[in-house]
Chains A and B, each alone.
Chain A
Amino acid sequence: MSEQEKTKVMFVCRTAPYGTIYEQEAIEAMVMFGAYEQDISVTFTGDGVFSLKKGQDTSLLGKKNFSMTYPILIDDFEISHIYVEKESLEERGLTEDDLATEVEIIDRNSLKQKMGEMKALLPF
């Protein structure tokens, strides 16, 4: 399939992990979507950036540590891009070094543009 024929879909992750199930079920959807050879990207903005914080240890919660999935999303699950909004990181006292995986940190204005190019935006 040529790049032009692919449908551009973006997950917009705005919720922090563990407090609700949104992050977990968003990941499950990302992993599935990756198999369909479309152009799938993932954006973390607002409290969503907390999902990428490194050093998460969920052993006392009795839940899976979902941050382990992010480093393999691109290579194993064919996700095209993982974007993190620079302003949201800064507001929350986080830097690139705090993140559990390599991502594209971009500013809000660039993200706006990318959102405008999407066929569908899926907020989580």
Chain B
Amino acid sequence: MKLGILIKEGPYMHQAMDTAYNFILAAMESGHEITGIFFYNDGVYNRCATLEPPRDERNIMKLLTELELKGVRLIVCVAAGKRRGIVNQTVCKVEEISGLGQLLELCITSDRTITF
């Protein structure tokens, strides 16, 4: 099944990204396709390139980059990002920045869209 993911909360402050990450790993292991992860609201902070948690703590930004290397598409909302300073210079990868139309595209192309 094709699953689209919407992340509305930032890293660490809320558990949302952690739950989503574990959900995504389980979904991929079960053979489902993640059509994309769209970061909106404070969710855009999950792709801040300068996140640097203590060494013994999970690095959410890096975990997401690993998912990206496995072929998962990450999309950072340009408007929500700009408002919060997540722009070309501060995002993990410039290509991830895109418009809200991509969220609707996820809704259209995914069998399920799930919000964390």
Direct contact of A and B (CB under 8 A): yes
What is the interface of chain A, defined by CB distance below 8 A to chain B?
Answer: 7, 9, 21-22, 25, 28-29, 32-33, 35-36, 38, 119-124
Residues on B with beta carbons closer than 8 Å to the beta carbon of A36: 101, 104
Known interface pairs A120-B113, A122-B6, A123-B115; A33-B104 also in contact (CB < 8 Å): yes
Contacts A7-B108, A36-B101; A25 near B115 (Cβ below 8 A): no
Contact B115 A122 (CB under 8 A): yes
Residue pair A29, B107 in contact (C-beta under 8 Å): no
Q: Is the CB of B107 within 8 A of A32?
A: no
- CA distance in complex: A21, B9 (Å): 11
Residues of A within 8 A of B101 (CB): 32-33, 35-36
Question: In terms of DSSP, what is the predominant structure of the interface of chain B?
Answer: mixed
Tell me which residues across on chain A come within 8 A of B108, comparing CB atoms: 7, 38, 119
Query: Within the complex, what minimum Cβ distance (angstroms) separates B67 from chain A?
Result: 21
Top 7 A-B pairs, shortest CB-CB distance: A120-B113, A120-B107, A32-B100, A7-B108, A9-B107, A33-B104, A29-B100
Bound-state CA distance A22–B99 (Å) is: 17
Q: Inside 8 A of A22's CB, which chain B residues have their CB?
A: 8, 41
How big is chain B's contact interface, by range? Answer: 10 to 19
Q: A122-B115, A123-B115 are in contact. Are A21 and B104 (CB under 8 A)?
A: no
Tell me if B27 counts as interface (CB < 8 A to partner A): no
Residues in chain A near residue B103, CB distance under 8 A: 29, 33, 122
B80 adjacent to chain A (CB < 8 Å):
yes
Tell me, in angstroms, the Cα distance from A85 to B66 when the chains sit together. 42
B99 A29 Cβ-Cβ under 8 A: no
